Structure 1
């Protein structure tokens, strides 16, 4: 089973100093999202992430290089998976998990449940508390590659079905993804490989492990 290690970053972060957190994540260990699934086109965006935790949330930074980038959805819990989208699914050990999905602008969609069917949306006000810092560099022509990064701070309050005060010293199950359902070249890429004949990120038996240290 794949593992990532999420170190503790001291300090308090919000929209006013998220750039400082972004720099710290930039310096951290990067993990590749490099399992190209359910595709034979050869199109393979380059994606990696770094992860940490703070006193009140999970910090993530995604790094993406791709030819086609779309960022149209701007309202909380919109279908951002149709845009250029990075995703983070996490379970705290009870067989259910949260799906957190973000387009290149940082617009977020969050749900909760035990599989892909009948997921319960996390209320908009909780999802709106996620802090995001987006940086998109557009290619000079359509044949070039866009690069973008996205820094995220997910407060523990977003995980409304769990009373999380700290993650220090704990272990969770998770997977990380890149997709874009409505892009000119749709794709599905995962960190921990998924053995399924049909596209489905919602298979928690293939989650890897996060150790919060």
Structure 2
């Protein structure tokens, strides 16, 4: 009995140590403010991000059974209470089967931004397949999501992909694509008064493709779960808005 208790205690210690190690690797990213007067379009956002921000990699493979690692990076900034993001992807398999807002875009070639503006565990999951179809919900966990109204999403979020906007079946080869996104703070419908400037928040950035020939799950900040699970705000990194 004593040996069994000792084994359990050792096992618990190892698990606590691993979890502590994951949290000690927590990344912090300072989100630069880019000043711009007047209405800005996606082409201008793309150019300004290129000129004023650094590339950040989404390259962590946390689950050995899904070892395929496409090349994925992003740039991020904020301006006039809106978040600007540009993704860069190189991969072998392209799939864009979902064209309906709030559809299951994670099945396709997909990039994601999970954002907890207050760092309190309630987060928005912004998901975009490679043709810019948006999936957006809010809540404290995978099983407690509240979808944002599709019309609100279409009216407020601007997104443009170099692959266009038409659905297609899987293509195999060597592909490169880019996506530019404007996310105004108004889309954070559960935080109506929020101001990005000076905000201390948490987030993670992902790449996945659940239904592609080479399933993959890449993250910006490490995720310490046994199986792929992006809905884990305890593993988000820090975002500090200048």
Instruction: Give every structure 1 segment of 4 or more consecutive aligned residues whose post-TM-superposition deviation is greater than 6 Å.
Output: none
1:211 is matched with 240
1:148 is matched with 177
Q: Take 1:76 and 1:212, find their aligned partners in 2: how far apart are those partners?
A: 28
Among residues 86, 89, 103, which one is paired with 1:78 in the alignment?
103
Larger Rg computed on CA atoms? 2
Mapping of residues 43-192 of structure 1, within 5 Å: 43-93=68-118, 94-128=120-154, 129-136=156-163, 142=172, 144-192=173-221
Q: What SS does structure 2 have at the residue aligned with 1:145?
A: strand
CA contact (8 A) 1:39 1:187 kept: no
TM-score, normalised by the number of residues in structure 1: 0.91
Among residues 23, 45, 48, which one is paired with 1:24 in the alignment?
48
Question: Unmatched 5+ residue regions in structure 1?
Answer: none
Q: Take 1:197 and 1:150, find their aligned partners in 2: how far apart are those partners?
A: 30
**Which region of structure 1 is more displaced relative to structure 2, 147-156 or 68-77?**
68-77
2:59 is matched with 34
CA RMSD of aligned residues (A): 1.7
CA contact (8 A) 2:201 2:240 kept: yes
CA contact (8 A) 1:77 1:109 kept: yes
CA contact (8 A) 1:36 1:189 kept: yes
Q: Deviation at 1:165? A: 4.9
Q: 1:198 and 2:223 equivalent?
A: no
**Larger fraction in helix:** 2
Q: Take 2:57 and 2:66, find their aligned partners in 1: how far apart are those partners?
A: 20
Q: What SS does structure 1 have at the residue aligned with 2:234?
A: helix
Q: Deviation at 1:13? A: 4.2
Q: Take 1:56 and 1:41, find their aligned partners in 2: how far apart are those partners?
A: 37
TM-score, normalised by the number of residues in structure 2: 0.81
Q: Deviation at 1:95? A: 2.2
Tell me the matched-pair count.
207
Q: Take 2:159 and 2:39, find their aligned partners in 1: how far apart are those partners?
A: 11
CA contact (8 A) 2:66 2:215 kept: no
Q: Take 1:181 and 1:165, find their aligned partners in 2: how far apart are those partners?
A: 33
